[in-house]
Amino acid sequence: MIHCEGLVKIFKSDEIEVVALQGLNLSVKEGEMMAIIGNSGSGKSTFLNILGGLDRPSAGQVRVGPWDLLKITDDQLVEYKRNTVGFIWQNNARNLLPYLTAIENVEMPMMLNGKVDRAYAEQLLEWVGLKERMHNKLHQLSGGEQQRVAIAISLSNRPKLLLADEPTGSVDTQTSDMIMNIFRKMNQELGVTIVIVTHDLSLAGKVDRVVAIRDGLTSTEFIKRNPNLDAAGGEQGHNSALQQVHEAYVVVDRVGRLQVPREYLEALEINDKASMEFDGDTIIIRAPKSLEG
Ligand SMILES: Nc1ncnc2c1ncn2[C@@H]1O[C@H](COP(=O)(O)OP(=O)(O)O)[C@@H](O)[C@H]1O
Ligand SMILES: [Mg+2]
């Protein structure tokens, strides 16, 4: 579904250049439900915006289904955004039209696309648990309910890929659990591929795979050991919880580059060079031998 290799995004303004993505590699299979985690400023939104056709990549490869997002024309991009991807933002104001009812909101993208499917709009709202509230205006709904409407809207044009940028960023834990369960249900019912950006590690147990982005590069992958096991989540929902259910792998790109965690480098006082040794079965990275030593 998604294939990304050496993806680069540079933001240029008059004085400065920000390299938000510095050669990111990531592939996502059709039907997968995965999460991207990373600190603020690590490039998560930049990446999602590129996948969503909201921003253009600077260089590298990025393909979604049959579309090459580096070469896609503006007209094709409009079609891509209408039919291939659904997007959910953390900020609801971007997802919703407050003066319309829930069902009217879900039907709006269908209308823009020229074919309203009332039965499907109702089905989507039922799936997100809002059957009883579909004729309520959005300002009559709670934040969590509005976020569920946003999910229904994002699916209204039957996208193949659903992108969610911090969808549980401004709701409580209970609502956040409910939203993750809805994503899983949609993933199963519709077969839609789902990529969720989050900085909440406790959500990780709810997805098949977690990829960590650090400084605009994919650095670590956590793959579920047992797909039927759910994370304990909640209180100890930190790195340890992630590792209880997931096996951690460092990402190695096609030419063999990998990113060593900064903590490791600092611990060994490695700056710009290290020595590497291969004993037939293990690769060992060490700080360079001190010359005075
Ligand atoms: N439109 C933009 N113009 C300039 N810099 C940007 C723009 N968008 C993002 N950045 C910069 O790119 C980096 C990655 O940002 P972002 O993708 O929003 O990170 P995240 O979503 O992981 O918090 C940050 O340094 C941010 O300041
Ligand atoms: Mg962001």
User: Ligand 1 pocket: which of 10, 11, 91 to mutate (most atoms <8 Å of CB)?
Assistant: 11
Q: What is the pLDDT of residue 261?
A: 83
> What confidence score (pLDDT) does residue 232 get?
44
Q: Which residue has the tokens 């795979």?
A: 209
Q: pLDDT tens digits for 246-268?
A: 788 888 887 888 888 888 999 99
Q: In the structure encoding, which two tokens stand for residue 234, read together?
A: 């909640």
Ligand 1, atom nearest to 197 Cα: 21
Per-residue pLDDT, 237: 42
pTM, whole model, 2 decimals? 0.85
18 forms beta bridges with: 11
CA 176 to chain centre: 15
Q: What local confidence, expressed as pLDDT, does residue 293 receive?
A: 47
**Closest-lying ligand to the alpha carbon of 46?**
1
pLDDT score of 266? 92
Burial class (CB in 10 A: 0-12, 13-18, 19+), 167: buried
Residue 14 phi, psi dihedral angles, 5° rounding: -55, -50
Distance 57 CA to ligand 2 centre (A): 16
With a 6 A CB cut-off, is 38 part of the ligand 1 pocket?
A: yes
Instruction: Return the structure tokens found at 18.
Output: 């920000």
Q: Specify the ligand 1 atom closest to the Cα of 55.
A: 1
Separation between Cα atoms, residue 189 and residue 151, nearest integer Å? 14
Q: 267: exposed, middle or buried (C-beta count within 10 Å: 0-12, 13-18, 19+)?
A: exposed
Instruction: Count the Cβ atoms, other than its own, within 10 Å of residue 269.
Output: 9
**Which residue puts its alpha carbon closest to atom 9 of ligand 1?**
46
Q: What is the pLDDT of residue 223?
A: 81
Any ligand 1 atom below 6 A from CB of 43: yes
Predicted local confidence at residue 131, as pLDDT: 94
**Ligand 1 pocket, residue 41 CB under 6 Å:** yes
**Residues paired with 29 in a beta bridge:** none
Question: Residue 13: which residues within 8 A CB-CB, separation 6 or more?
Answer: none
State the closest ligand 1 atom to the C-alpha of 9, by its place in the atom list counted from 1: 12
DSSP H or E segment with residue 23? strand 17-28
Strand order across the 67-68 sheet: 17-28, 2-12, 59-64, 67-68
Q: Give the chain's mean pLDDT.
A: 87
pLDDT in tens, 61-82: 999 999 999 999 999 999 999 8
Stretches where the chain sits below pLDDT 50 are 231-238, 293
